[in-house]
């Protein structure tokens, strides 16, 4: 099946700094990728839809100036958490759709665990 990678798998940063997370589709092209966030014991919540060649679409309540998304190529989307604070500590997961038969299946990256101290 299709493979999506994320880097880094975990990161610890100090409050006020910025952190960049990369999401790559390794063996297919993805014009659209999705970014999710998951807090402990909660479900995955969609943050934004990343679109290659155009601006990302953010879900209600997600600050676009804080969570910068850049879909630089057909295989790479980046999420930058700017001026990170402890409440941004979470599990960030990306996904990319890939055609499987007559429909699309979402392939998830392994996630990035962010801890802000």
Partner 1 sequence: RKEVEQDPGPFNVPEGATVAFNCTYSNSASQSFFWYRQDCRKEPKLLMSVYSSGNEDGRFTAQLNRASQYISLLIRDSKLSDSATYLCVVTLGEGFQKLVFGTGTRLLVSP
Judged by CB under 8 A, does residue 8 bind partner 1?
no
Map residues 18-47 to x or -, x wherever contact with partner 1 holds by CB under 8 A.
--------------x-x-x----xxxxxx-
Taking the complex as a whole, how short is the minimal distance between the CB of residue 110 and partner 1, in angstroms?
5
Whether a cis peptide bond, with omega within 30° of 0, leads into 8 is yes
Judged by CB under 8 A, does residue 89 bind partner 1?
no
Q: Look up residue 12 and give its two tokens.
A: 């610890």
Q: Are 21 and 42 in contact (CB under 8 A)?
A: no
Taking the complex as a whole, how short is the minimal distance between the CB of residue 49 and partner 1, in angstroms?
7
CA end-to-end span of the chain, whole Å? 37
């Amino acid at each position: 099946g299709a493979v999506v990678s994320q880097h880094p798998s975990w990161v610890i940063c100090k409050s006020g700094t910025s952190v960049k997370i990369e999401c790559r589709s390794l063996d297919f092209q993805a014009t659209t990728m999705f970014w999710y966030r998951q807090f402990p014991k909660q479900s995955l919540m969609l943050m934004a839809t990343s679109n290659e060649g155009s601006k990302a679409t953010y879900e209600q309540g997600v600050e676009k100036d804080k969570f910068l998304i850049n879909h630089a190529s057909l295989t790479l989307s980046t999420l930058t958490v700017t001026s990170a604070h402890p409440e941004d500590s979470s599990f960030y997961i990306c996904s990319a759709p890939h055609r499987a038969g007559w429909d699309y299946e979402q392939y998830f990256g392994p996630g990035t665990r962010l801890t802000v101290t």
